[in-house]
């Protein structure tokens, strides 16, 4: 109940233009900005710097230019051009060539055809430069359109792409079979969105139960699955299921968010597991940041301490 309430409250705050304006004054101010714990910065240079620091610890990374739900074709084009421009910068920097995108940032709200055109441009350019692109899953109204576009580009031969599935959604176990049939890569998460009971599990036990079922299936039948969790119980279950199925540590990887459970990140790497850190950056950081607070209310204390230091 507390988890659901937290998601609902912070999900609402994420859409507040007034709060976004206030937060923008302090969130990225110098190294002490309160959002910098979870967001690398606003520029590609800051993101590359954060990626280098992560890789220096023996971890992998994926970069995500934050943004979603653009309101015009011009904004969708601008986001696409930004991704096309960032890939050569990443390649020149010599860091891992792995990025994440959201389809609403590419114009999915405007039309699937528009988003598909932009996605194909990104994947084609990424293939030329050796990039893997992960399509982030958004809230439930976008799931079918996201999977349909994912399947379409895959069948067009653009296979340098994977997708994210959320165990909180009741449909996701069937969607997993759909993606496995393609031979594509899946990133498994619990889900950060507040969803209605008609489409989503409401209790932590139900979400965790679905996560474990999908996890077991992925470890046995998936193609280099990404196990995205900060939950020690889910991490322990991953180790147990992998051992039971005879799946070696190199056949999958754990993934965590930048700035979250850095102790677990280091511990898993020390145990010999692959560990990838999701590094977000960009000016549109506020909605992402609020969802992180909603996922783990303990993060609020960190932010309040940072704000007090700013004063």
Rounded Cα distance between 8 and 11, Å, is 5
pLDDT at 302 over 90: no
Q: What is the average pLDDT score of the chain? A: 88
pLDDT tens digits, one per residue of 99-112 = 999 999 999 999 99
pLDDT at 8 over 60: no
Contact indicator for 279, 50 with CB cutoff of 8 Å: yes
Which residues face 185 on adjacent strands? 162
pLDDT of residue 285: 76
Catalytic pick from 36, 97, 187, 276?
187
**What token pair was written down for 147?**
């999977």
Catalytic pick from 109, 136, 175, 208?
136
Structural domains present in the chain: 1-39+285-311 (no CATH), 64-281 (3.20.20.220)
The average pLDDT across 272-297 equals 81
Active site residue 136: yes
Q: Pick 221 or 19 by higher pLDDT.
A: 221
Rounded Cα distance between 180 and 178, Å, is 6
pTM of the model: 0.86
Rounded Cα distance between 78 and 173, Å, is 35
Contact indicator for 44, 86 with CB cutoff of 8 Å: yes
pLDDT at 2 over 80: no
pLDDT tens digits, one per residue of 177-215 = 999 999 999 999 999 888 999 999 999 999 999 999 999
Within 10 A of 260 (CB to CB), how many other CB atoms are there? 17
The average pLDDT across 82-103 equals 98
pLDDT at 73 over 90: yes
pLDDT tens digits, one per residue of 230-251 = 999 999 999 999 999 999 999 9
Contact indicator for 108, 67 with CB cutoff of 8 Å: no
DSSP labels, 7-76: HHHHHHHHT-HHHHHHHHHHTTSSTT-GGGGT---SSHHHHHHHHHHHHHTT-EEEEEE-----SSHHHH
- Element housing 125 (H / E): helix 112-129
Rounded Cα distance between 239 and 246, Å, is 10
Rounded Cα distance between 43 and 212, Å, is 37
Rounded Cα distance between 68 and 286, Å, is 11
pLDDT at 308 over 50: no
29: pLDDT confidence band, cut at 50, 70 and 90?
A: low
Under DSSP, the state recorded for 250 is G
pLDDT at 18 over 60: no
Active site residue 216: no
Residue found by looking up tokens 């958004």 in the block: 138
């Amino acid at each position: 109940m507390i988890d659901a309430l937290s998601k609902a409250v912070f999900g609402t705050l994420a859409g507040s233009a007034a709060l976004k304006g206030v937060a923008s004054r302090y969130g990225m101010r110098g190294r002490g900005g309160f959002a910098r714990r979870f967001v690398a910065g606003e520029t590609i240079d800051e993101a590359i710097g954060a990626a280098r620091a992560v890789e220096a610890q023996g971890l992998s990374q994926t970069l995500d230019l934050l943004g979603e739900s653009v309101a015009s074709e011009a904004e969708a084009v601008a986001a696409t051009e930004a991704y096309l421009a960032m890939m050569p910068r990443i390649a020149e920097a010599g860091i891992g060539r792995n990025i994440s995108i959201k389809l609403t940032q590419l114009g999915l709200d405007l039309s699937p055809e528009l988003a598909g055109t932009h996605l194909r441009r990104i994947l084609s350019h990424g293939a030329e430069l050796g990039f893997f692109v992960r399509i982030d899953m958004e809230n439930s109204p976008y799931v079918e359109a996201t999977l349909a576009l994912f399947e379409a580009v895959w069948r067009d031969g653009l296979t340098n792409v994977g997708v994210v599935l959320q165990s909180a959604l009741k449909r996701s176990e069937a969607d997993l079979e759909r993606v496995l049939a393609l031979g594509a890569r899946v990133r498994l998460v619990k889900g950060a969105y507040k969803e209605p009971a008609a489409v989503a599990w409401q209790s932590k036990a139900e979400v965790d139960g679905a996560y474990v079922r999908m996890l077991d299936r992925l470890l046995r039948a998936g193609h280099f699955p990404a196990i995205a969790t900060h939950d020690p119980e889910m991490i322990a279950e991953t180790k147990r299921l992998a051992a039971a199925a005879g799946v070696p540590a190199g056949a999958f990887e754990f993934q965590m968010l930048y700035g979250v459970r850095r102790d677990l990140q280091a511990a898993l790497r020390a145990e010999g597991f692959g560990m990838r850190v999701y590094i977000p950056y960009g000016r549109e950081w506020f909605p992402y940041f609020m969802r992180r607070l909603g996922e783990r209310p303990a993060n609020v204390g960190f932010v309040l301490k940072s704000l007090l230091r700013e004063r």
